[in-house]
Amino acid sequence: MTQPLVLPLVDISKLASPNVEDRLSVAREIDRACVESGFLYIAGAQMDDALFRRIVDRARGYFALDTAIKMQSYIGLSENHSGYVPVGEEQFAPDQRDLKEAFDVNCDYRGSEGRRPLLGPNLWPDMPGFREDVQAYYRHVTTIGGQLFRAFALALGLDEDHFDAHLRNPPTQLRLIHYPLDATAEDRPGIGAHTDYECFTLLFATAPGLQIVDKHGAWMDVPLIQGTMIMNIGDMMEILSNGRYVATRHRVKKVGEERYSFALFHACDYDYVVAPVTTGEPARYAPLKGGEHLFNQTAQTFAYLKRRIESGELVLNDALPLNSFGLNRSAKEPIPAISAQQLLPEQ
């Protein structure tokens, strides 16, 4: 039986202060929490509770639609990996399909130049008010994320605006996720064990279910705290911090009540090269192309992308295996590139 985990809680209100000492004090708290666990709660005056309630209502309305209607916005029809994700589409382990459905959106990039696999116009359902409220939530939480990027820069000894130039059109993704309650379903998780691929994630959820691996390898429940979001470190921030912060594996167990969650995965621009930014120590991680890593990881879990790999329509370059991070690796233990054969769907 898993036990609840006590995570640090950081009030980020002072990240909006004009006083740099106020912002530094929050940065130090975030640094300490990320070193300790890689997961923490954040609270702050920045958070718009009314908008959080509205996004829950939108998600409830959308996921209550007939599957045939939701499939009109199927993610496999999109240009930028956005849209509806049906139950079973995403798979983190060969013998296990997640018991969840989702709607994914990116930054809704409308420019004609510079499009990438995760950078383009979003696919939206024909549902009045849905697009407007989802985009409002996306803008709100990415604004908070911008403040947190500045805090990380301070925590890592960089100029506070270090990341600003690399957040112009990032493939930052928002996932609206519905975990249905089905007492007759087989005992499979809502989402399988994984690390997040980006720099950090901000999560708002309506019910328990999240679990993380502690330092001893045991699964621990993460309880909800009213008025907070959960924040965790991803692969790219592990690299940027040269292992000071470690991406933590997590999952959502089979839920005991219907659950909605809203995870916003914060990344730098697609072409940003992710490499250690710390000074005075040898680099423990090889550089990687941020957007390419994000897409390569995504392609290893989504059925429609696996089908494209199998047909030869899609070829991945220098793809790392899933769960390559969060292992406290040393520089003497390089991550091997994954073979094309390993990317093929299970027969």
Domain CATH code at residue 260:
2.60.120.330
Phi-psi sector, 240: left (phi>0), alpha (psi -120 to 50), beta = alpha
Q: Is residue 3 part of a domain?
A: no
Instruction: Give the pTM.
Output: 0.90
Residue 154 covered by a domain? yes
CA distance 80 to 4: 37
- 79 within some domain: yes
At residue 248, the pLDDT reads 87
Distances in Å between the Cα of 343 and the Cα atoms of 97, 256, 331, 339, 340 are 16, 33, 26, 7, 5
Asked, for residue 2, whether it belongs to a domain, the answer is no
Burial 109-141 (b: 16+ CB within 10 A, else e): beeeeebbbbbbebbbbeeeebbebbbebbebb
Q: CA 295 to CA 116: how far, in whole Å?
A: 10
Report the run of H or E that residue 232 belongs to, with start and end: strand 229-233
pLDDT at residue 289 in the model = 93
User: 183 in a domain, yes or no?
Assistant: yes
Distances 67 to 92, 102, 181 between C-alpha atoms, Å: 23, 12, 16
Residues 6+ apart with CB under 8 A from 299: 305, 306, 308, 309, 314, 316, 319, 343
Rounded to whole angstroms, the Cα distance separating 248 from 217 reads 11
Contact 116, 171 (CB under 8 A): yes
Strand partners, 264: 174, 202
Q: Name the domain count of the chain.
A: 1
**Residues 6+ away with beta carbon under 8 Å from 280:** none
Binned average pLDDT, 10 residues per bin, the chain of 347 residues: 75 97 97 93 97 97 98 96 94 73 95 90 96 98 98 97 96 96 54 84 95 84 95 96 92 86 97 94 93 93 93 90 68 35 34
Q: Is 305 strand, coil or helix?
A: helix
Q: Residue 226: give the domain boundaries.
A: 9-343
- Assigned domain for 31 exists: yes
Looking at the chain, how many residues does it have? 347
Instruction: Report if residue 181 sits inside a domain.
Output: yes
Here the tokens at position 64 are 């209550």
- 51, burial (CB in 10 Å: exposed 0-12, middle 13-18, buried 19+): middle
Output the pLDDT for position 210. 92
| Domain contains 230 | yes
State the amino acid at position 131 in one-letter form.
R
125, 72 in Cβ contact below 8 A? yes
